[in-house]
Structure 1
């Protein structure tokens, strides 16, 4: 269908406006290339001592100062937060202010374009959030980062927003009884004496800082396998050694293989599945994924299996390709939820895929009973409120499911691969995703995404059918019931099954009015007519 130029202009303007509503103070004049964090923790108290060495490229000349996120130590936080002790560069002490959770650093002299400078920040404090220092389910002391969406600033000076990506390393001093897990590859593990162990991890792949991971606990560690020369590891509490090793034996390698073939190469140096005190089911931190401790049972439960698939899928969507702004969080959670189901279809069959899609549909319409105004892409910022809901996951997955059906499997896969290749280890927006899908399919997809992503409305239908023996026609009546009055423009399918014939006839119509009547020729009255037999339309049936 062709659309008038004026409509396309309105769509592009509307989409462009909403794509940059995230209010974080992005600074494209600087690019953080690398973070090096030296962190000391102890069992005596919850205070951490940190030294951050941050390598920054200045993209413009005459920059005199720049800003980082770091939570202040305040009375309101009951003394929790970080206290900066000194900042230097090239052995020269620098001036700074640390107010309102913003660390403003003055340069010794104005920048010149493309120069790279390393800044060293000495600080200490008790994290209010971000690094959780709590007992695990066995009562043992643990330290686990939980940075999403913007809690990195509670314990690490950083640009705490997904738009900036950098490589990283953690050099951690901790009591000798602990093992330390982090992003990337293990470079050193040494006992220093005085009951202190030094552990050094380095990740040479850039990620947004909420994907930095640090776990300090007593672990049982298993080298499970390798994938393309990269280690697959399991890290669980010693008390859960047998159960955890059994639970994580599968399906990590199969999942890595599937996404590498379907989407593109796995970005990171290893894949570790880590039992932790993380809230929720799991956290997709790059190369070392956290799982809620309660999920480890030794029973190889489907719930844990699906969380493993989901969090590994995030290594592609959200991690390697990261949303540019919080407005576009569905590019992480929606795509990942769909690709979780896609692996399930590949590994366990189409029926399990359809069961998952139907479950997602139920979740969508259950959720909108509580919040009918949530649209997938909208004005959101982690600085001011939540950036995702259940709809981001479930409706986002359904939109991707419908997209695949709309443009076909070959075009969809080509589009996904092109999108991943173009934005690999970088950032992308919803507009970027749409553009790659339009190129792959040679279709104008803006109207599709406009009604499903940018509108809070959700399709509600009633329908009925009858047979007119005189005209020999099946008469189908369909009505849309969105309370806002918005009318969807969607393909709608019916299966017509005749008496004594096992295979039904699939009929597709276009529904683009509030009410519609379709007349389908039929020599005889069908045994029955069903709506959406392939489960490819997101709708709720109302009386």
Structure 2
């Protein structure tokens, strides 16, 4: 879909559900940034960067008089770090502006008109406070690596620093010629300037959110690993880590790309690069160019870093291609990437490995809930960006998707996922949008399900017993919700009846929706055992046994 249509789509579809939280960022749907071109000069003599950012804008309404961008201003409070703007130009004319704190406000020469296209160039320089790490790597070599998550791009880039406004981008970087430069998209130019500097131009033709813009400048070893649907798979590691890095990142990148393309939908981007860096501690899912901790390269393809690679590739679909419209819905990125990591592991490494992932996630959910019993996955008008994610965003978010899959069944779950991705690929989505797609595909009313697991705190605790009535040939089951915070859940739960260990059990489903729940289920034989939730579809603690 054309980039200019995304705001119309969001305005039409967002906020029509009862779920309508929003973070505090000053969104302006009257302004649609189409493209940024960042012309950046880097040096070995200073940490100061020089930047000329050209911004292409479409106005979605009449009457806009000020264009607001995020850019951290240099100040004594920041030890004179930050950016100083020297000039703003449009159509050959200099524009007035104000720059205070993190806000750059450009006064337009005339109020906007509907569908007006304009271009502005902002010239500035300074030493980044954060967002672009200029430092030695573990070998003592000088490097430059971005670290924009979640809203740190403003420390070195003049942007709308929020996921609701996605744009294409270009990085045109002039740096000393002993460096190589990697960024989003495709490299369209590399020219030695003859003065000890090299110009490198990367162009990202698919719109993405600001935290996904990436820059890596170092003395790299680069490998073309393979192709996927005509798109390059690359590895970029420190030159000293060539052999170990090429080995580590060769797997399982292509297999993960194939899985998500087959099960979810098309890969959006023009390449996929795995990049060693010193700016992140784990992985950062920058679109088409993923950053990993420099410690990720060890040369043994260990399971921990293998799973980080899978997680960051999953983000190329969820978080990157389909991006949350609002930080309150960040689980649409992290919860999805966590569960879809587990789904690839199930596909590639088997059911036992998958259940190990889900068991580990449950332990983290339980530990976090014990310390934070009032926490909800969906934020309520988030203001403090240091709290944008938590362990629950990842792990409880993952379990919500797992429970949804259990409730719908595999066929409807995957059909809904594909429909959601197809509608919102390269756009923004809300939790309400996701719920709507799953309801339309399944024909179910899922409001209660999502409300209790996303918008309310609490954990399901079940105590239960069973007995067999030989006369009625029925199993009588009692299930009590015993969580002590006043919450009540409505959940379908499978029950397995075993006649013997050698026979497959009979499976039935009961739905608990009260504090005390009783069921009588016809069973022709007296079970040797009855198991609650035998396939582990429900996030709960359960004590269930035969009544003595």
TM-score between both structures, scaled by the size of structure 1: 0.94
SS at 2:387 equivalent = coil
Alpha carbons of structure 1 residues 446 and 253: separation in structure 2 relative to 1, 3 Å: same
Q: Aligned runs of 1:116-515 on 2, under 5 Å?
A: 116-381=117-382, 384-468=385-469, 473-499=474-500, 501-515=502-516
Query: Paired residue for 1:538?
Result: 539
Aligned-residue offset at 1:319: 0.5
Q: C-alpha distance in 1, partners of 2:506/2:455?
A: 34
Deviation per residue, 1:227-258 (Å, 9 max, x gap): 11110000001111101100111111111111
The answer on whether the counterparts of 2:14 and 2:433 sit within 8 Å (CA) in structure 1 is no
Deviation per residue, 1:387-444 (Å, 9 max, x gap): 1111111111111111112122222222111111111111001111111111111111
Range 12-21 or range 139-148, more displaced = 12-21
Alpha carbons of structure 1 residues 295 and 500: separation in structure 2 relative to 1, 3 Å: closer
Deviation per residue, 1:255-308 (Å, 9 max, x gap): 111111111111111000001113331000000001111111110111111111
Range 273-282 or range 87-96, more displaced = 273-282
Q: C-alpha distance in 1, partners of 2:476/2:386?
A: 49
Range 58-67 or range 36-45, more displaced = 58-67
Range 436-445 or range 352-361, more displaced = 352-361
Alpha carbons of structure 1 residues 388 and 307: separation in structure 2 relative to 1, 3 Å: same
Query: Paired residue for 2:85?
Result: 84
Aligned-residue offset at 1:471: 5.7
Q: C-alpha distance in 1, partners of 2:502/2:516?
A: 31
Query: Paired residue for 1:113?
Result: 114
Range 490-499 or range 395-404, more displaced = 490-499
Aligned-residue offset at 1:17: 6.1
The Cα RMSD (Å) is: 1.9
SS at 2:68 equivalent = strand
The answer on whether the counterparts of 2:407 and 2:492 sit within 8 Å (CA) in structure 1 is no
Q: C-alpha distance in 1, partners of 2:75/2:94?
A: 25
Aligned-residue offset at 1:477: 2.7
For structure 2, the 5+ residue unaligned runs are 1-12
* Structure 1 residue 54 corresponds to structure 2 residue 55: yes
Q: C-alpha distance in 1, partners of 2:540/2:279?
A: 34
* Structure 1 residue 29 corresponds to structure 2 residue 12: no
SS at 1:367 equivalent = helix
Query: Paired residue for 2:10?
Result: none
Range 62-71 or range 372-381, more displaced = 372-381
Q: How many pairs are equivalent?
A: 532
